A and B are shown apart, each in its own frame.
Chain A
Amino acid sequence: MKFLRLFFIIFLIVSPNQIKADDENLKNKITKNLRCLICQGQSVYDSDSEFANSLKIVINKKLNEGLSEQDIYDYFEDKYGEWILYDPLFNKNTYFLWILPLFMFLIGGLIIFKKLIKKYK
């Protein structure tokens, strides 16, 4: 009986269902990070358009071929340009976009810091 219980636990741990669930999570993550190019404001994950459905098939295929998440993003960026990625890359067109919040945060911090110093003086 003990042996059976142990066997059952081991089976649950290494069961292919878990692996399949991980695959599905990764697939969802990738499709959420890709923009559906023909439906505005929707990710591939949200969309049920012909284009998005084809993309989902390709992502499945690429994952089965053993490509990593980044490889898949690179593949689609090569085909469609950076616009398909929801996460804009850091380059000369987007550095302002990336740096601005940091800059605002620093200025805000500076103001608070100055006020605090004044208060304690």
Chain B
Amino acid sequence: MKMKNKFFLLSIIATFIFIFVIFYKGLQDTNIYTPLVKINNDIPSFSAELLHSNETIDSLDLFESNKYYLLNIWSSWCVPCREEHPILMNLTKDKNISVLGLNYKDTKVNAKKFLDELGNPYEKIIFDKHGVKSIEWGAFGVPESFLIHNNKVVEKYIGPLNQEIIKKIKLLIK
């Protein structure tokens, strides 16, 4: 066989192996894309209305440094929020952490009804009528929770909280 033909054959084989490896690796990747969870970001600064008092506050005033906070994004129309609510109610018994709420695209009447029915675990609740404040937090749906310490987001939990996550949180805040 000519030198040139040999080279041609080899390069075709190499190309096929290369493509095979790429596709084989691609098979193992999940095709459901979740964005990178960005943590250790500073908490965002914005002014917002509170659910219960109608007063407008600066988001930075809600957090003291050296203290742990769990900011939970919830809504009365969100079914998984209903499921995680007892976990949040339980978490309020822990004195090392304060639970704050961000009410997402809801009406005040419905939100208050939800809390009357299931209890209010939140120290304060930011009212986010248009979902704009949750974008400041880098959230993209409900429910979502952020563990905050020293004015930084330490952990971010997408989806409803469960006992396993709570265990991890309790280990962190000890």
Binding site for B on A (CB under 8 A): 37-38, 40, 50-51, 53-55, 57-58, 61, 78-84
Contact = CB atoms under 8 A, between A and B. Distances in A.
B135 A54 contact: yes
Interface residues of B, number: 17
A81 B35 contact: yes
Contacts of B135: 54-55, 58, 79
B132 A57 contact: yes
A48 B25 CA distance: 33
A28 to B, nearest CB: 19
Classify the secondary structure of B's interface with A: loop
Given A57-B131, A83-B36, 10 more contacts: A38-B140, A50-B131, A50-B141, A51-B131, A51-B140, A54-B105, A54-B132, A55-B135, A80-B140, A81-B35
A37 B132 contact: no
Contacts of B131: 50-51, 53-54, 57
Interface in B94-136: 105, 130-132, 134-136
A82 B38 CA distance: 11
Interface string B74-98: 0000000000000000000000000
11 contacts: A38-B140, A51-B131, A51-B140, A54-B130, A57-B132, A58-B132, A79-B135, A80-B38, A80-B140, A81-B38, A84-B35
